[in-house]
Amino acid sequence: MDALLEIRDLSIAFGGLKAVQDFSLTLARGDLQGLIGPNGAGKTTVFNLVTGVYRPQVGTVRLGSRVLNGLRPHQIAAAGVARTFQASRLFADLTVRDNVRIGCQLRATHGLWATVWRTTRHVADEARIRDRCEQLLATFGLTKRRGELARNLPYGDQRRLEMARALATDPQVLLLDEPAAGMNPPEKLALRELIRSVRRQFDVTILLIEHDMGVVMDICERITVLDYGVTIAVGTPQEVQRDARVIAAYLGTPETEAR
Amino acid sequence: MRLGVGTLLRNLAPLVVGVALASILHFWIQPASGAFATKVLVDIGINVILAVSLTLVNGFTGQFSIGHAGFMCVGGYVAAAVTYYGSHRLYGDAFLHGGVLSWTAGQGGVAGPLLAGGDLLFVVACLLGGLAAAVAGYVVGLPSLRLRGDYLAIVTLGFGEIVRVLFQSTQPQLFLAGEIQSQSTWRLGTMLGGALGFTSVPFYSTLFWVYAFVALTLLATYRIKQSGYGRAFLSIREDEVAAEAMGVHTTRLKVRAFVLSSFFAGLAGALFAHSIGSINAGELGFQKSFDVIIMVVLGGMGSISGSTLAAIILTILPEVLRTATEHVNRYLPESYALPDLRMIIYSLALIVMMIVRPQGLFGLHEIWDFRKKARRHEGT
Ligand SMILES: Nc1ncnc2c1ncn2[C@@H]1O[C@H](COP(=O)(O)OP(=O)(O)OP(=O)(O)O)[C@@H](O)[C@H]1O
Ligand SMILES: [Mg+2]
């Protein structure tokens, strides 16, 4: 299997705090991997480094043969890496449909002039965007809510809209930051199936941050565990669950007691 | 590019309707309404262009520009100089050389053909004024929009002042045909009247031209709002980090919105100069920018129809207030006379608005969106 997203030795410190240290991870095309760790471990920071929100002080990120670090976030999105946000960053005062259509816009080709004169190109582009948007809304069960403002959606729908919007950019790699947060148990159960089917249907490679172990252990093929910015374990769900350092990191105290 | 005749017609239909309405105003309403009403109608048109263009920046992209009058000024001076000196070069004087569309009833003289050379000169002058303002917008916007936060507000405020000082320190305007003929075009460009302002601008801004340009502005901004561009602008205002993550080139789009907005402000300035026959940077300071901001804030940040409505109301209101105050003052002893109430009422309206409806009358929505929503509620 060839590496699609290759993260190598990524590090960043905020002041004295080493938020992420020497983080490496390789996603092959079609992978569904997990990134877990206790609160403040640096998981979201990894996403921010990969998507250009933060610039890594050390390390490289490659998508295929293209080096991503140093690019602006919109360029990284255009290159094919999309993400969702942990704390919802939907366009709150826009409709569900417009949230998704903004994502679709990335692959549109017409300019401002075409927009003002409504050229055939513009009309065709907008029609294509509309179709794609409807398809995404259907996949995520949001069709009925398409006209509502994003801020008025129930929490679970907001999480799904985040995913739909990210997929609208037609990515190769999808980074999901705690999609299950705030969902109720039935929704979480449905989410497992949804993520699996998204991978199939949209042919994306997924890296998932999630605190809900039920979701992570069920759907991820490989898991990387972070603690205080350091990678403490990598392996299959079974391996990771049995790993002493992982257990210590999650339970907190045993490691210190052992010393 | 393939472009069928049908598509072309459909695309231009709104503009055709706009021009038709402008013609009705010009040929039927204007002669019947008298000079004062005509002046108010022209002012309304110009303010609509200003408010709608500012909505592009302050409403759509959520940036805060407070120097709109500066761009208006740039457009006004450039256009005024082009028509005034251009007219001298072409015709040997700076009178009207347009056809009936540029000819206001009751002004005297004879109506010419439908279109004449002067009309072309005027339209070109307006477009050049808009372009000059757009260039100024690019120069101001590019550095300040790269930075986050409220730099734009500070920079545009400064820009307004710089524009004022620059135009007020230009050379005196030339009035004698002989002198004008002997100057080079570049020299003429520096002779913009200094502190006295640029005067004797021919009165080309009839209701027809003003409302034809209003139609163009409304059509362009509305189509932008309804398109991917508009949504991308709005996404910047909603959440810049998320917009970037969705592939929106936020800096570039902010600059584009700003340049576009400046273009229309320059256009409004051009129409303004040709409506009162002069332009003076000293009179288009922060106060004017503030007036436009109020229109946008009241009408709804991002609502084209809301900004339009607010521009209409806030152009008529001061006139009504002025008449009312004069009327009341006639019965009051001089020491108790009411001052100009305009600013007081504006400030109060703004405060009430900020408390009751901070998103403005219509927020992001267009007026007809609410009717649609009401209908949907009835349906269910
Ligand atoms: N911009 C920043 N400036 C300073 N410190 C930061 C910044 N971003 C993150 N940090 C710090 O880096 C550490 C890692 O944060 P991060 O958000 O990546 O954790 P996380 O693993 O996503 O945690 P959670 O599970 O709570 O979301 C935290 O201590 C956080 O306070
Ligand atoms: Mg996090």
Q: Locate tokens 């079974």: which residue?
A: A238
How much distance in Å is there from the Cα of A250 to the middle of ligand 1? 17
- Are the Cβ atoms of B228 and A93 closer than 8 angstroms? no
Q: Which amino acid belongs to residue A67?
A: V
Classify the complex by whether its ipTM is higher than 0.85, answering yes or no.
Answer: yes
Crossing angle between the packed helical segments B228-238 and A96-105, to the nearest 10 degrees: 110
From the CA atom positions of chain B, what is the Rg in Å? 22
User: Does A26 contact B at CB distance below 8 Å?
Assistant: no
Q: Indicate the Cα dihedral angle B208, B209, B215, B218, nearest 10°.
A: -140
pLDDT one-digit tens code per residue, A131-150: 999 999 999 999 999 999 99
CA distance A7 to A23: 7
CA of A35, nearest ligand number: 1
Q: Tell me what pLDDT residue B102 has.
A: 80
Cα torsion angle, B285, B288, B294, B295, sign = negative
Q: What is the pLDDT of residue B39?
A: 92
* pLDDT exceeds 70 at position A253: no
Q: Are B126 and B132 in contact (CB under 8 A)?
A: no
CA atoms of B300 and A93, how far apart (whole Å): 13
User: Considering every ligand atom, which ligand is closest to the CA of A230?
Assistant: 1
Q: What does the pLDDT average to over A218-229?
A: 96
Which domains, ranges and CATH numbers included, belong to chain A?
A: 3-94+158-258 (3.40.50.300)
**CA of A10 relative to ligand 1 center, distance in Å:** 15
- pLDDT at residue B176 in the model: 85
How many CB atoms are located within 10 Å of the residue B215 CB? 20
Q: Among B15, B52, B246, B252, pick the best mutation site for testing chain A contact (most A Cβ within 10 A).
A: B246
Q: Which ligand is nearest to the CA of A18?
A: 1
C-beta A33 within 6 A of ligand 1: no
Q: What is the mean pLDDT of residues A12-18?
A: 92
Q: Is A97 on the interface with B (CB under 8 A)?
A: no
* Closest alpha carbon to B84 in B195, B204, B164, B169: B204
| Residue owning tokens 């929106």 | B248
Q: What is the per-residue pLDDT for B380?
A: 38
Rounded Cα distance, B242 and A92, in Å: 11
Res A167: pLDDT: 96
- Supply angle C-alpha B226, B227, B229, rounded to 5: 120
DSSP reduced 3-state for B29 = helix
Position B375 scores a pLDDT of 59
- pLDDT band for position A207 (50/70/90)? very high
Specify the pLDDT at position B1.
Answer: 45
HEC profile for chain A? Answer: CCEEEEEEEEEEEECCEEEEEEEEEEEECCCEEEEECCCCCCHHHHHHHHCCCCCCCEEEEEECCEECCCCCHHHHHHHCEEECCCCCCCCCCCEHHHHHHHHHHCCCCCCHHHHHHCCHHHHHHHHHHHHHHHHHHHHCCCHHHCCCEHHHCCHHHHHHHHHHHHHHCCCCEEEEECCCCCCCHHHHHHHHHHHHHHHHHHCCEEEEECCCHHHHHHHCCEEEEEECCEEEEEECHHHHHHCHHHHHHHHCHHHHHHC
Type of residue numbered B80:
A
Q: A223 alpha carbon to ligand 1 midpoint, in Å?
A: 20
| Edge-to-edge strand ranges of the sheet holding A3-14 | A17-28, A3-14, A58-63, A66-67
Q: Return d(Cα A86, Cα A164) in angstroms, integer.
A: 15
Q: Which residues of B touch A (CB under 8 A)?
A: 1-4, 7, 10-11, 219-220, 223-224, 227-229, 231-232, 234-235, 238-239, 241-250, 256, 260, 363-364
**Predicted local confidence at residue A68, as pLDDT:** 95
B288/A20 Cα distance (integer angstroms): 51
Distance A49 CA to ligand 1 centre (A): 12
Three-class DSSP category at B98: coil
| Tokens, residue A13 | 């410190």
Averaged pLDDT for residues A37-41: 94
With a 6 Å cutoff on the Cβ, whether A37 touches ligand 1 is yes
Query: Which of chain B's residues have a Cβ under 8 Å away from the Cβ of A94?
Result: 231, 234-235, 238, 364
What is the share, in percent, of chain A residues with pLDDT greater than 90?
A: 80
Query: Would you tell me the crossing angle of helices A155-168 and A96-105 to the nearest 10 degrees?
Result: 20
What CA–CA distance (Å, rounded) separates B59 from B261?
A: 11
Question: For residue B131, with 0-12 CB atoms within 10 Å meaning exposed, 13-18 middle and 19 or more buried, which class applies?
Answer: middle
| Dihedral Cα B193, B197, B203, B206, nearest 10 deg | 140
A66 touches chain B (CB under 8 A): no
Closest residue on chain A to B373 (Cα): A147
Helix spans in chain B (H): 5-24, 30-54, 68-91, 117-146, 151-168, 177-182, 185-188, 207-225, 228-238, 240-245, 250-276, 286-299, 304-331, 342-356, 367-379
| DSSP for residue B358 | T
**Residue nearest (by alpha carbon) to ligand 1 atom 3:** A14
Bridge partners (DSSP) listed for residue A235: A223
pLDDT at residue number A118: 84
Question: Considering only CB atoms, which chain A residues are within 8 Å of B224?
Answer: 112, 115-116
Using a CB-CB cut-off of 8 Å, the residues of chain B touching A123 are 7
What are the phi and psi torsion angles at B363 (to 5°)?
A: 55, -130
CA distance B35 to B205: 13
Highest mean pLDDT among A169-173, A245-249, B337-341: A169-173
Name the residue among A51, A54, A32, A44 with its Cα closest to residue A181: A44
Task: Tally A–B CB contacts below 8 A.
Answer: 116
Quick check: A254 pLDDT over 50? Answer: no
- Position A255 confidence tier, pLDDT thresholds 50, 70, 90: very low
Least CB-CB distance to B246: which of A92, A93, A103? Answer: A103
Nearest residue to B34 (alpha-carbon basis) of B96, B106, B109:
B106
Residue of B nearest to A83 (CA): B245
Of ligand 1's listed atoms, the one at least distance from the Cα of A38 is 25
* Of B13 and A5, the one with more pLDDT: A5
Q: Going by CA atoms, what residue is nearest to atom 31 of ligand 1?
A: A40
Mark the ranges of chain B whose per-residue pLDDT is less than 70.
1-4, 105-111, 148-149, 370-380
Question: Could you tell me which residues come within 8 angstroms of residue B25 by beta carbon, excluding any fewer than 6 positions away?
Answer: B41, B207, B208, B211
Res A251 pLDDT > 60: yes
The pLDDT confidence band at residue A237, using thresholds 50, 70 and 90, is very high
